[in-house]
Structure 1
Amino acid sequence: MSRTGETSRDTSYGFGDRALPHAYDPQTMPEYFEGVLSRRLVAFLVDALMIVGPVALLAVFIFVFGLLTLGLGWMLFWLLSPAFIVWAVAYNALTLGSPASATLGMRLMDLEMRTWYGAPCYSILGAVHAVCFWVSVSVFTPFVLLVALFNDRRRLLHDFLAGTVVVNTPRRADALRRTY
């Protein structure tokens, strides 16, 4: 306890007064960053289909429901925008917060998201990452993508904002390490 009666918390995570080190060093572990950007683009396309698909099905359902109710059901079309937002954030929160720390597209491409100090991703961070992505893309497009070309860890702007890094899975990194 300090003199003021407040208790202090140790937030050093075992590193004393030093700053936390980055968990993945591209100089000593290049296999974790090999081909991440191109595979991340494919993963994004898969995830976009996973997000847009159910919303498109909802739109078809509302359209057919509107035909059956002589146009009355078409008043539900206003639900599409909020449903898209909620589903996109929930998809990222649930998949990135899973033990794999990856969306379905990232799993397909052998990628995972970690915090900058190496911890697995969690649901709230996954949701924040999704919001940072959509805000940064809508404000800074296409500059959000150029950021990755100028840093060794290939982090995008929303990765910096959320404090995350996307790397190859340990299995893929081991396979790449054996080829070096």
Structure 2
Amino acid sequence: MSADYSGTPVRETVYDPFTRPDLFEGVRTRRIFAFFVDVIAISILIVVAAVVVGFLGIFTLGLAWLAYAILAPAVALLYIAFTLGGPEAATPGMRAMGLEMRLWYGARPYPLLATMHALIFWFSISFLTPLILLVSLFSERKRLLHDIALGTVVMNSGALER
């Protein structure tokens, strides 16, 4: 048995949907609801950050207002990096829905991988249309295209602990 970057033990086996179907029950639906919870949380954080930047702009004679150009993407990427790439391996929306992300061999995602996961998701949706989400209907682990590309798996956290 090996360990991931945080020192937690990692199993060398792949999560098999045929031997452990409980890991993947309802994942697709709960991912959708988790996405909406996270969008609301990120929107609230963006509003708070915009107010802070607004006040900073007054004190810096407008210089801080240049941060508005990158405010929304920066807040969203930091949110993803520190929640999905953190020790819980899940965003608050994913935790609320009982989901957790792991790499294909069992390790937890790290902040850079979590950021890349979000970027690839948004670029694939933007360029390949939302129809790319239909990939999950044909994947036995209910993985999306960006999950497959990065080697990640989203599973039920309760079943994962058992």
- TM, length-normalised to structure 2: 0.80
Structure 1 outlier segments of 4+, above 6 Å: 61-66
Matched, 1:38 2:29: yes
**Relative to structure 1, is the Cα distance of residues 48 and 22 closer, same or farther in structure 2, using a 3 angstrom cutoff?**
farther
2: CA distance, partners of 1:93 / 1:64: 26
Q: Are the aligned partners of 1:92 and 1:103 in contact in 2 as well (CA < 8 Å)?
A: yes
Identity %: 45
Among residues 71, 78, 85, which one is paired with 2:73 in the alignment? Answer: 85
Say which SS state the counterpart of residue 121 (structure 1) adopts: coil
Match of 1:146 in 2: 134
Q: What letter matches 2:34 in structure 1?
A: A
Q: Are the aligned partners of 2:77 and 2:115 in contact in 1 as well (CA < 8 Å)?
A: yes
Gaps of 5+ in 2: 3-11
Q: Could you tell me how far 1:59 is from its partner in structure 2? A: 4.1
Match of 2:47 in 1: 56
1: CA distance, partners of 2:47 / 2:140: 38
Map 1:140-179; keep pairs closer than 5 Å: 140-169=128-157, 171-172=158-159
Matched, 1:123 2:98: no
Larger Rg: 1
**CA RMSD between the two structures:** 2.7
Q: Deviations over 1:102-142 (max 9, x none)?
A: 00100111100001122111111111111111111111121
Gaps of 5+ in 1: 1-12, 14-20, 176-180
Which of the pair has the greater relative contact order for Cα pairs under 8 Å at 6+ separation? 2
Match of 2:6 in 1: none
Q: Are the aligned partners of 2:53 and 2:68 in contact in 1 as well (CA < 8 Å)?
A: no
- TM, length-normalised to structure 1: 0.72
